[in-house]
Amino acid sequence: MENKALIAQCAKVAQTWLDSPLYDEKTKADVRDMLANVDKTELIDSFYKNLEFGTGGLRGIMGPGTNRMNIYTVGAATQGLSNYLNREFADRESISVVIGYDCRNNSELFAKTCADIFSANGIHVYLFDDMRPTPEMSYAIRRLGCQSGIILTASHNPKEYNGYKAYWDDGAQVLAPHDKGIIDEVNKVRVDDIKFKGNPDLISVIGEEIDRDYLNDVKGISIDPACISRQKGLKIVYTPIHGTGMKLIPQSLKLWGFENVTCVPEQMIKDGNFSTVVSPNPENAEALTLALKLAKEIDADIVMASDPDADRVGMACKNDKGEWTLINGNQTCLIFLYYIIKNRQARGLMKGNEFIVKTIVTTELVKRVADTANIEMLDCYTGFKWIAREIRLLEGKKQYIGGGEESYGFLAEDFVRDKDAVSACSLLAEICAWAKDQGKTLYDVLMEIYRDYGFSYNTTVNVVKPGKAGADEIKAMMEGFRMQPVKELANSPVKRMLDYQSLTVHYSDGRKEPLAMPEPSNVIQWFAEDGTKVSVRPSGTEPKIKFYLEVAGEMRDAADYPAACQRAEEKAQLIKRSLGLE
């Protein structure tokens, strides 16, 4: 009976699309097919709710329907953002925005639709002439003095998805109070409120000039150009996985002085279907299959890959046995910050006011590196908008020199306010050149970090709980962890629990103290006496709860690394049992 009621509800909403003159005929034909289909799954999925505009914007499967990415849901988001901008900046003579988009199917269509809507609302639009990396869009907001910007991308999600991310005038994704203000405006918009008929006089196409300025500024973050000159023949294999990185990353590597860059030809083709991979995610080994095959053929020094909107970077290098091995997100962040701190100090570039940032779920080894070098390290919530917030708060007071997160994002500069694979790939190549200059590899650098600062092993457990029942179960799990705190992790007593929802630190001896964070978040962390750290949070975009495990351990030397990983993995299994995950 409940299913019949849901089908009737969805059919009623779908019929309003058919009855309205505001929807195009192709959309209506697709809706009719859904209504006529005996299997009502697609009808329900498409119309059972409105696609929610959240603090990160929109993300969803493309297609007709209130719960899908299409010109109407994207249009409502843009109309709502336009209304908010016109209200917030009512005292300005003109308001401007930047629009970027990636390689995905419909990204260009959505971008041009948004350009029309902004311009119809009297807002000047700077529209990129073709797909561009997300970080370049962020850069352009500041470079052009705009009040906002959007990027049409679903990052590394499967091909069926698209997304819409909104940015503010500092080039970062929107935070409070603007995020909630925009959401309120978007929720008020009806389809007949959307101004689809654009004003061409308010749309400016941008491209090469921004590319040039951005790439020149990225080149300015190079720390040791001399070692690049000596190792300009470093063999680099790069893949954009069909995405926006192909536009700028090979150019940036060339500008930095690298002369031996080989791109994976099959993946240097703009393709919203990502036809050569199962998933366009550089975190996954499968996405690097073609790049690794090419690297073996030419005996490369490094493999690097960017995701479709070129904000994340994945990498692989040869280990001490000459075997190709993937470098994970925590290791990536660690290597970048180690190199930046060590070599800025070696070259006398430090002024004493530098700081770095990591997210709370990223490896604690970063703090050990920073503390040893007397560099201030700040912790923030997951998501680069929080790293950008720290940069903004300290702008003009202290110097940001790098920040990253475990999910393969890194930002080495402050003129962009989102993670940046263009600068990250370029700096990664410099780190490899610096290592090779000393007869070492990137793997050797990682082993030296573990030797000097301690071994650490990171792994993630994702517990998927789909549907409303799953959401209720995830909520109950988080409540359970708060009501009955974890006392031990793999037999090591928990010495403190950080509850980011109540903003309280709970110590094992009963003491409590406030936790200084900008706002509450549904995250819990436990720190055990043996150095184990566990973080848990529900995903903001998927029906799952995520556990981030960090196991401290010992590693005698590089030869002991595989065994150290094995010992840590065995301990991680015990931690899972402590958490009731097995």
Active site residues: 155
SS3 assignment, position 436 = helix
CA-based nearest residue to 551, from 486, 487, 460, 445: 460
Tokens of 227: 């070692």
CA separation for the pair 63, 530 (Å, rounded) = 50
Say what the alpha-carbon torsion angle 521, 409, 135, 224 is, to the nearest 10 degrees.
130
CA separation for the pair 427, 282 (Å, rounded) = 17
In this structure, the number of other CB atoms found within 10 A of the CB of residue 346 comes to: 11
* DSSP codes joined into one string, 298-366: HT-SEEEEE-TTS-BEEEEEE-TTS-EEEE-HHHHHHHHHHHHHHHHHHTT---S-EEEEEETTS-THH
Question: Position 265: which residue type?
Answer: P
SS (H, E, C) 304-315: EEECCCCCEEEE
CA separation for the pair 299, 319 (Å, rounded) = 13
For residue 367, what are the CA distances in angstroms to 163, 164, 338, 371, 372? 34, 34, 10, 6, 8
Contact 303, 295 (CB under 8 A): yes
Instruction: Decide: residue 373, CB within 10 A, 0-12 exposed, 13-18 middle, 19+ buried.
Output: middle
Peptide bond just before 177 cis, omega within 30 deg: yes
DSSP state of 158: -
Tokens of 417: 């306010």
CA separation for the pair 77, 89 (Å, rounded) = 18
CA separation for the pair 420, 412 (Å, rounded) = 8
Tokens of 63: 């297609």
DSSP state of 580: T
CA separation for the pair 515, 281 (Å, rounded) = 34
Contact 490, 571 (CB under 8 A): yes
Task: Scan for tokens 């000039």, then name that residue.
Answer: 209
Contact 306, 243 (CB under 8 A): yes
Question: Position 137: which residue type?
Answer: M
CA separation for the pair 148, 387 (Å, rounded) = 18
Strands 96-101 and 148-152: parallel
Task: Scan for tokens 């950008």, then name that residue.
Answer: 388
Element (DSSP H or E) covering residue 494: strand 492-499
Angle of CA points 569, 368, 502, to nearest 5°: 80
CA separation for the pair 133, 208 (Å, rounded) = 13
Contact 209, 140 (CB under 8 A): no
SS3 assignment, position 159 = coil
